[in-house]
Amino acid sequence: MAAPPYRPDCSWLVRICFLLGALWEMGAEQIRYSVPEELEKGSFVGNIAKDLGLEPRELAERGVRIVSRGRTQLFALNPRSGSLVTTGRIDREELCAQSARCLVNLNILMEDKMNLYPIQVEIMDVNDNAPRFLTEEMNVKIVENTAPGVRFPLNEARDPDVGTNSLQSYQLNPNRHFSLVVQTGDDGTKYPELVLDRVLDREEEAVHHLLLTASDGGSPPRSGTARIRVTVVDVNDHAPVFFLPQYQVTVPENVPVGTRLLAVNATDLDEGVNGEVTYSFRKITQKILQIFQLNSHTGELSTLEGLDYEDSGYYEMEVQAQDGPGSMTRAKVLITILDVNDNAPEVTVTSVSSSIPEDTPPGTVIALFYLQDRDSGKNGEVTCTISENLPFKLERSIDNYYRLVTAENLDREKLSVYNITLKATDGGTPPLSTETHILVNVADTNDNPPAFPHSSYSVFIPENNPRGASIFSVTAHDPDSDENAHVTYSLSEDTLQDVSISSYVSINSDTGVLYALHSFDYEQFRDLRLRVTAHDSGDPPLSSNMSLSIFVLDQNDNPPEILYPSLPTDGSTGVELAPRSAEPGYLVTKVVAVDRDSGQNAWLSYRLLKASEPGLFTVGLHTGEVRTARALLDRDALKQSLVVVVQDHGQPPLSATVTLTVAVADSIPDVLADLGSIRTPANSDDSDLTLYLVVAVAAVSCIFLAFVIVLLALRVRRWHKSRLLQASGSGLGGVPASHFVGVDGVRAFLQTYSHEVSLTADSRKSHLIFPQPNYADTLLSQESCEKKDPLLTSIDFQQCTDEAQSIQVRSVFHLSLYC
Ligand SMILES: *[C@@H]1O[C@H](CO)[C@@H](O)[C@H](O)[C@H]1NC(C)=O
Ligand SMILES: *[C@@H]1O[C@H](CO)[C@@H](O)[C@H](O)[C@H]1NC(C)=O
Ligand SMILES: *[C@@H]1O[C@H](CO)[C@@H](O)[C@H](O)[C@H]1NC(C)=O
C-alpha cells in the first residue's frame, strides 16, 4: 500500500482516462475506465450517465444500478452527478498481485429496459511499495585468510509493485573488503552476491558490518535496506607471544613454601582454542621440577619446597607457552636466591674426654670441636663462648677448630660434673646461635683422708657392762668416692697394764662400732684411752686419728668389807677389854671397814644394831669407834656382846655386820676369873682344848708378828731409797693431785695391833690374846701397792700415794693407805 503522505495529484490522469473511455464507448459498446490505485473513497472513476447518454437525473428514474458477481463492491454510483466513484481505497497489489494489468469488470443494470451494460475498470499501478528484504539482518561467516574472489549469496529483496515500480537494483555500502554482483534469474529476479575483494584478518577486524540497499524504478524511487554482519572465523595463524623474552626475579631464601615468585605471561592473538595459552616447563632438571611449579593456566611460578641459598643460589629455566592447536614460544626464567641468616651455627665435637681425674694439671685438653655455619658472608661467621666462672677456657686452633682446656685445678669434692655449654653465634642480623653441652665428669683421686667430726671423744659407761655390749660408735667421713671413700676403722696397738687394748675393746672395722670385750670393773680401772684410726681404701690409703676416752662409772657392787675385827676362822671372836674404871666415852675399840667402791658407794656409816646391855656402848656413825656411853657399874655383865652394822650409801645400800665381844674387867685375871665363874659345866670338856688352841694361836701370832716387823723394816729401807731416786726423775709423783679429786679415795684403815701376849701360869692354864697399849704416837708406814692384779696396771691406777697417818689410839696404830 502506498504511504499516506504519498498522495499523487490525479486530476490530469482522470481527465485522460475519461477521454479514453469516451473514445472506447464510441468505438465499441463496452465502457472502459481506468483509475489509479490508492484513491480516496468517493474518487471519480467515470461519468456513467454521460457514457450511457442519459441525464444524471435519469439514472434514478430508470433504476440504474451496479450488479457485480458477489464481489466486494469497489465502486458505487453517485446519483447526483451520475458518475462512478470508488467506495474505498483500492490496492492494486491486493487485487491483482504481480499481474501486469489489473482489470475489474462490472455491469450496469438499467431496470426500466432490463438492459445490462458491461463496464471494465483498469486499476493503474502506483509506486506505493518499496523493495523489502525478508530479513533485515543477514549473518555471513567467512574464514579468515579466504582467497579473494569467493562469492557469498545474499538474500534478495522483493517489491510487489510492477514494472518500473518493482525492484530495479542493489547497492552495497562502500567498504575495503567486499563488493557486490547481481545475478538475474530466468524470470528476471535479481540475486545479489557478496564478493570478497581483499583477504580478511580476524585479528585486525573480527566482524564487518555492511549495508545492502535494494531500489525500485518508481518516481520517486523507493528502496529497502538489510544489514549484513560478516563474521570472520578465526584460523590459528598466530603463536603465543611472551610479554618479556626473559623473566627475572630475586627472592630471599626464606620465602614460605608456595610463594608466587612471578608470572610469565604470553598472549595469543587468535581466539578460542587457538588463543588458549598454556604454560609448561621446557628443558628442566628433575631438581628444579621438585622445587618450582608452574601453573599451566595462569603462568604463575611458585615454590614447591623451601628454597635454600646454601643449596643453590641461582636457577635458570625455560618455559614455553602453547596455544590449543600447538603453536608455541619460549622464554627464559632466571631466579636469584638471596642468602638469609637461616642456618644456626653447628658445633661438631670431634673428640671429648668424658672423664678427667681431679689432679689433672691446668691446660689439659678436654675436647676438640669445630664450628661451621652454612650461611655465607657475615651470616656464616661464627664465634664461640662458654659460660663464665668455669675452670675451663677455649683455645682457637687452626681453621674453625677449637680446644676446650682446663684453666685451673679441679676438685671433684667441690663439683664432680661439669655441664659445659658451648654457645656458637653467627654474625647475622639477628644472629643465630646454637648451644652444645659437653659433660665432663671429674674422676676421683684419693686426695682426702677420712675425717672424724671431732678429734676426741669421751664415753662414760657404767661398770659391770655386759660382755660384748656395744659401747660407742665412731664415724669418719671421706669426701672422696668409691674405694677412696670406703672407710675402715681400727684401734691402735696400745696397751693398758701390759695387756693389749684390743683385749678390752674391739671395733667393727666396717661400721666403727666399739664393743666391750670385758665387763669393766671400776675397782680395777677407771678409764681407758684409745686411738681409733680410720683408713680409706685408696691407693695409697689415707688415714686420720681420733682419740677416745672411755670412763668407767662406779656402781655399788661391793658391800663394805670389815677389816677389824676380822672374822676368826674358828667361829670365835676376839674379845675387847673395857676396864670397869673406864670413864664415859672411853674408846673400847674401833670397827674398821672398807668399801671397794667409790664416792657415795664407799661412804660408810656405822650403827649399833644390837647390844646385850643397851645404852652402854655407842658407835661413832662415821668413825666406827665403839665407846662407853656411861661409867661401868659392877652390875654390868662381864661379857657384853655388840652387833655393829656397816652400811654404804649406794643405791641400793649394801651392808655388813660384825659381832663384838667386850669384856668388862680391870685386869686379865679378873677376866679369867669372871670367865671361869661364868663358865658352864657343859664347857668343862672343851676348856682344855680351848686352852691349847689359844696357846697355839698365840705362838703362831708371835712368829707372824716377828716376820711382819722384819718385812716392814726391809720395805721401809727400800722405799726410802726409791724415794731419793724419784726425787730427781719423773716418777709416780708426777701424777697430779687433782687426779684424785672426787674419787674420795678408799680410806682403809689397817689396824695393826702389837700384840703382847702374856701367858699367866694360872691354874686354869687359860691363854688370852691381850692387846697391850702401844704408845707409838706416830708411825709412818708405807704400803707400796704391791698387788699384782693385772687389771690394776692402769696408768692411773698404778699411781698410789701412800701417806702415813698417825692415829693416836691407845694400844692401836693405824696404817692409813690412801689410794
Ligand atoms: C601480561 O603482563 C602484562 C604486563 O605485566 C599485563 O598488563 C597483562 O595483563 C598480563 N596478561 C595476563 C594475561 O596476565
Ligand atoms: C646440661 O645443661 C642443659 C641446660 O643447662 C640441659 O638441658 C642438659 O640436659 C644438661 N645435660 C646433662 C647431661 O645434664
Ligand atoms: C696417727 O697416729 C699414729 C701414731 O701416733 C701416727 O703415726 C700417725 O701419723 C697418725 N696419723 C695421723 C693422720 O695423724
For ligand 3, say whether the CB of 547 is within 6 Å of any of its atoms: no
Q: Report how far ligand 1's centroid is from the alpha carbon of 265 (Å).
A: 6
717 within ligand 2 shell (Cβ under 6 A)? no
Question: Is there a contact between 513 and 470 (Cβ–Cβ < 8 Å)?
Answer: yes
| The three cell numbers locating residue 414 | 667441690
244 lines ligand 1 (CB under 6 A): no
Please tell me the residue having the least CA distance from ligand 2 atom 13: 439
Question: Is any ligand 2 atom within 6 A of the Cβ of residue 437?
Answer: yes
Judge contact between 606 and 646, C-beta under 8 A.
yes
The answer to whether residues 467 and 557 touch, using CB atoms and an 8 Å cutoff, is no
In 3D space, the residue among 426, 533, 541 whose CA is nearest the CA of residue 490 turns out to be 533
Cα 444 to averaged position of ligand 3 atoms, centre (Å): 24
Distance 297 CA to ligand 1 centre (A): 13
| Ligand 1 atom at minimum distance from 299 CA | 14
pLDDT for 90 equals: 87
Name the DSSP class of 733: G
Which atom of ligand 2 lies closest to the CA of 419? 1
Residues of the chain with pLDDT under 50: 1-8, 22-28, 678-685, 728-819
Nearest CA to ligand 2 atom 6: 437
Q: In angstroms, rounded to a whole number, what is the distance separating the alpha carbons of residues 194 and 785? A: 170
Are 585 and 627 spatial neighbours (Cβ–Cβ below 8 Å)? yes
Q: What's CA 646's distance to the chain center, in Å?
A: 83
Give nearest CA residue, ligand 3 atom 3.
545
Measured CA to CA in angstroms, residue 556 lies from 563, 564, 688, 692 at distances of 19, 22, 46, 43
Tell how far the Cα of 276 is from the centroid of ligand 1, in angstroms.
15
Cell of 564: 677389824
Ligand 3, atom 4: closest residue by C-alpha: 492
Report the nearest-CA residue for atom 7 of ligand 3: 545
Q: Is the CB of 243 under 6 A from ligand 1?
A: yes
Torsion over CA: 147, 149, 155, 157 (sign): positive
CA of 421 to the centre of ligand 2 (A): 8
pLDDT of residue 510: 93
Complete DSSP assignment for 87-132: SS---HHHHHTT-S-EEEEEEEEETTTTEEEEEEEEEEP------E
Position in ligand 2 atom list of the atom nearest CA 437: 1
Give, using CA atoms, the residue closest to atom 10 of ligand 2: 419
DSSP states of 279-300: EEEES--HHHHHHEEE-TTT-E
Residue 4 neighbours by CB distance under 10 Å: 7
C-alpha cell at 462: 657404767
Note the pLDDT of residue 74: 85
pTM: predicted TM-score of the whole model, two decimal places = 0.45
pLDDT at position 319: 93
Residue 781 has a pLDDT of 32
d(C-alpha 597, C-alpha 655), whole Å: 13
Residue nearest to atom 8 of ligand 2 (CA): 437
Residue 367 confidence (pLDDT): 93
Q: Is 545 in the pocket of ligand 3 (CB under 6 A)?
A: yes
pLDDT of res. 718: 84
What pLDDT does residue 12 have?
Answer: 58
Domains of the chain, each with CATH number or no CATH: 11-124 (2.60.40.60), 128-234 (2.60.40.60), 236-340 (2.60.40.60), 346-443 (2.60.40.60), 456-553 (2.60.40.60), 561-666 (2.60.40.60), 685-818 (no CATH)
Residue ID of nearest Cα to ligand 1 atom 14: 265
